[in-house]
């Protein structure tokens, strides 16, 4: 392991997470229950899914530690929205989930180096083998966060609620 760690590459990600967390923490349970349209999840499920997928990819796929420190110890199989729309998460639970799962992201930003990004990670799920580079995994998690922030902002704006300010 040599070269700079990934904080040099993903320096804005902690600020993005804080903006998402603070916006979600300020919403009421009723506001988080807003469903932006037919076939879409309520806002709480989108936020929970976003946090859970960090654990799924970084712990479940890439083998990083920490899944047990989050509300999603079995993120490969059970995430809000994806598999679970029964256990509604309120603003405090979602803020805690964003904090705990971002702890795993922070560990990767500190431990992973630029030189490690080309390393292949191989996992077999059932009969299917998945192969991705470490760089693909971290970029996927980052892009997933930003994608869902944009999706949430669309729904928040339509509902007349405060949006996530990623640029502030």
Neighbouring residues of 50: CB distance < 8 A, sequence distance ≥ 6 = 20, 98, 144, 145, 148, 149
pTM: 0.95
C-alpha to C-alpha distance for 144 and 160, rounded to whole angstroms: 24
Listed residue (43, 21, 25) closest to 33, CA to CA: 43
Domain boundaries, the chain: 6-158
In whole angstroms, give the CA distance from residue 75 to residue 64: 13
Q: Is 36 exposed, middle or buried (0-12, 13-18, 19+ CB in 10 A)?
A: middle
In the chain, DSSP finds a helix count (H) and a strand count (E) of: 5, 2
**Mean pLDDT across 101-125:** 97
By percentage, how much of the chain surpasses pLDDT 70?
99
Neighbours of 41 (CB within 10 A): 19
Q: What are the φ/ψ torsions at residue 164 (nearest 5 degrees)? A: -75, 120
Distance from C-alpha of 75 to C-alpha of 148, rounded to nearest angstrom: 17
Q: What does the pLDDT read at residue 19?
A: 98
DSSP 84: B
- The answer to whether 44 and 32 have CB atoms below 8 angstroms apart is yes
Q: What is the pLDDT of residue 124?
A: 94
Architecture of domain 6-158: Up-down Bundle (1.20)
Q: What is the pLDDT of residue 136?
A: 98
Q: Check residue 164 and report its DSSP letter.
A: P
DSSP codes joined into one string, 151-163: HHHHHHHHTTPPP
What is the pLDDT of the chain when averaged over all its residues?
A: 96
- Is 141:58 a contact under the CB 8 Å cutoff? yes
Write the pLDDT tens digit of every residue in 57-79.
999 999 999 999 999 999 999 99
Work out whether the CA dihedral 80, 9, 166, 144 comes out positive or negative.
negative
């Amino acid at each position: 392991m040599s070269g700079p760690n990934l904080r040099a590459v993903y320096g804005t990600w902690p600020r993005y997470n804080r903006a998402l967390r603070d916006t979600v923490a300020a919403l009421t349970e009723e506001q988080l229950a807003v469903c932006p349209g037919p076939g879409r999840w309520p806002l709480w499920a989108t936020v929970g899914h976003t946090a859970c997928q960090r654990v799924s990819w970084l712990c479940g796929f890439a083998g990083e530690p920490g899944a047990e420190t989050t509300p999603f110890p079995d993120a490969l199989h059970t995430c809000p929205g994806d598999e679970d729309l029964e256990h509604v998460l309120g603003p405090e639970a979602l803020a805690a989930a964003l904090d705990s799962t971002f702890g795993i992201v922070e560990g990767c930003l500190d431990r992973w180096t630029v030189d490690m990004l080309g390393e292949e990670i191989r996992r077999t799920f059932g009969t299917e083998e998945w192969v991705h580079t470490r760089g693909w995994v971290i970029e996927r998690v980052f892009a997933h966060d930003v994608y869902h922030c944009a999706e949430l902002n669309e729904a928040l704006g339509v509902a007349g609620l405060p949006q996530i300010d990623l640029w502030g």
